[in-house]
């Protein structure tokens, strides 16, 4: 019944469909970036820099973007961001065709894509509560995770197959087209994504401060922001680790695409059970269990002996990621007042993605200078430390049930 109600939300389905297509294009090209840079430079460090540049804009723009998103027309922001990303990605095949592609251009495209993604993503998160009733947010989050997981299954294989058989430009053309498909879906949405300001507009600094202040008064949400940041540091490092491990095991580019596709299967499984986990277990039980299981599974990368096993480990970790996302995201989004959605989520994301550039750059340097075994061991220890700290945190273990958004907006400081 919940799924049936969700599918009747016309504007949500348009938003969801557009993002599925866009995610499919992005996953097709995302795995190709490090492959292309490795082919140009033979340097894991250089590939790590590209990944770091893609996530660096969160540190630069996240807070002002959140305040601006609450002022601007969110739908217009999303459309302009996707148009900009389509142009940036399309520049790669053009450079390939004229024989002028350099690693510096790939760095620039990564930085532009990452910058526009910051604005798009914050606007999208804020818009979700406009097109979906509060009681359907967990189901919508789970459906998003399932669809994006499905894109993760086929996207990498499509991208690497295009890269190896059609040409290096093909995955980037597909990605640019997917951004244009997202623009079309947004143009068809009728819902107004703009929020009604709760008070007259003040300075940008004061509005940013409102978002910071609200989040900091919620101990559980604050804790989850820092925990998510720690997890994302490893998540940013993992793709390059997997690619280098696969290369050492003799995997081809197509094989590497299959590894990430196998991982995508795990993501779909996790998204399908994420809602059930949220219903049957407490917030603390779900989050603590996911943390320990992820730490254990990641350490198995040190024991891998063939690329297929590498894919199975990646899939096992991928099962847990959407469970974590469904539980913490739907819990968080239902509590944030609509007028503060952009600012609070930008603050959360600043903390959550702040260490991603560090993880991406560090993985490249460590892989090049210390080798795969030391790199895996270092990040595995980081996972175990996060799991231990999560288990000891009272706010996570004793998290109460989600209250109505109005109670949160009225100033509840339970969390």
First to last CA, the chain: 31
| pLDDT at residue 400, rounded to an integer | 66
Residue 260 DSSP label: H
pLDDT, residue 300, reads 94
Closest CA to 96 of 29, 158, 46: 29
Asked if residue 414 belongs to a domain, the reply is no
Predicted pLDDT at 199: 52
Structure tokens at 322: 């959407």
Residue given tokens 């991406």 in the structure block: 360
DSSP 8-class letter at 162 = I
Contact predicate 366/378, CB 8 Å: yes
- Interatomic CA distance for residues 167 and 275, integer angstroms: 40
Q: In whole angstroms, what is the distance from residue 396 CA to residue 287 CA?
A: 8
Print the domain residue range for 282.
2-195+203-409
CA pair distance 20, 26, nearest whole angstrom: 10
pLDDT given for residue 375 in this prediction? 94
- Looking up residue 152, the CATH number of its domain turns out to be 1.20.1250.20
User: What pLDDT score was predicted for residue 202?
Assistant: 62
Is 322 within the bounds of a domain?
A: yes
Token pair for residue 333? Answer: 């989004």
pLDDT value of position 132: 83
Cα–Cα distance, 374 to 299 (Å, whole number): 11
Specify the pLDDT at position 293. 95
Residue 170 lies in a domain: yes
Q: Cβ contacts of residue 136 below 8 Å, gap of 6+?
A: 2, 5, 6, 9
> For 171-236, what is the HEC assignment?
HHHHHHHHHHHHHHHHHHCCCCCCCCCCCCCCCHHHHHHHHHHHHHCCHHHHHHHHHHHHHHHHHH
Burial of 301-336, coded b for 16+ CB within 10 Å and e otherwise, reads beebeebeebbbbbbbbbbbbbbbbbbbbbbbbbbb
- Residue 201's pLDDT is what? 54
Closest by CA to 267, choosing from 37, 92, 23, is 23
On whether residue 348 sits in a domain, the answer given is: yes
DSSP letter for 72, please: S
Structure tokens at 299: 């350490």
Residue 352 placed within a domain? yes
* Residue with tokens 């945190």, as numbered in its chain: 393
Ramachandran category for residue 354: left, alpha or beta (phi over 0 → left; psi -120 to 50 → alpha): alpha
Q: According to the model, what pLDDT value does residue 64 have?
A: 81
Distance CA 240, CA 361 (A): 10
Query: What DSSP string describes 287-307?
Result: HHHHHHHHHHHHHGGGG--SH
Q: Give the Cβ contact number of residue 381 at 10 Å.
A: 12
pLDDT in tens, 193-211: 776 555 555 677 777 788 8
pLDDT beneath 50, residues of the chain: 402-415
Q: Per the domain annotation, does 386 fall within a domain?
A: yes
Q: What is the count of structural domains for the chain?
A: 1
CA 274 to chain centre: 16
In a domain, 236, yes or no: yes
For residue 404, the model assigns a pLDDT of: 36
């Amino acid at each position: 019944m919940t799924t049936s109600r969700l599918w009747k939300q016309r504007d949500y389905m348009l938003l969801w469909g557009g993002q599925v297509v866009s995610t499919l294009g992005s996953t097709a090209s995302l795995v190709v970036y490090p492959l292309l840079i490795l082919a140009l430079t033979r340097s894991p460090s250089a590939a790590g820099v590209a990944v770091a540049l893609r996530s660096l804009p969160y540190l630069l723009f996240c807070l002002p973007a959140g305040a601006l998103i609450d002022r601007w027309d969110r739908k217009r922001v999303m459309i302009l961001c996707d148009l900009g990303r389509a142009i940036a990605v399309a520049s790669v095949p053009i450079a390939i065709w004229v024989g002028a592609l350099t690693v510096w251009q790939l760095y620039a495209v990564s930085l532009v894509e990452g910058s526009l993604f910051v604005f798009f993503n914050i606007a999208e998160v804020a818009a979700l509560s406009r097109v979906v009733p509060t009681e359907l947010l967990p189901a919508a989050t789970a459906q998003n995770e399932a669809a994006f997981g499905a894109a993760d299954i086929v996207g990498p294989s499509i991208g690497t197959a295009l890269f190896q058989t059609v040409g290096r430009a093909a995955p980037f053309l597909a990605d640019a087209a997917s951004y244009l498909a997202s623009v079309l879906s947004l143009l068809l949405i009728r819902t107004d994504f703009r929020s009604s300001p709760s008070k007259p507009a003040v300075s940008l600094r004061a509005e940013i401060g409102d978002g910071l202040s609200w989040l900091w008064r919620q101990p559980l949400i604050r804790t989850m922001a820092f925990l998510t940041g720690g997890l994302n540091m490893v998540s940013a490092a993992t793709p390059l680790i997997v690619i280098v491990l696969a290369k050492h095991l003799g995997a081809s580019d197509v094989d590497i695409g299959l590894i990430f596709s196998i991982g995508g299967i795990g993501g779909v499984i996790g998204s399908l059970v994420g809602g059930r986990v949220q219903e049957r277990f407490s917030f603390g039980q779900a989050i603590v269990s996911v943390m320990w299981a992820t730490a254990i599974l990641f350490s198995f990368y040190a024991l891998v002996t063939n690329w297929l096993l590498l894919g199975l480990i990646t899939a096992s970790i991928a099962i847990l990621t959407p469970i974590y996302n469904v539980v913490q995201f739907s819990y968080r989004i239902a509590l944030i007042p609509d007028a503060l959605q952009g600012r609070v989520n930008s603050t959360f994301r600043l903390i959550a993605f702040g260490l991603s550039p560090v993880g991406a750059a560090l993985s490249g340097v460590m892989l090049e200078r210390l080798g795969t075994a030391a790199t895996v061991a270092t990040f595995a220890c980081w996972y175990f430390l996060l799991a231990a700290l999560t288990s000891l945190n009272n706010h996570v273990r004793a998290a109460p049930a989600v209250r109505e958004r109005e109670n949160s907006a009225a100033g509840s400081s339970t969390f």
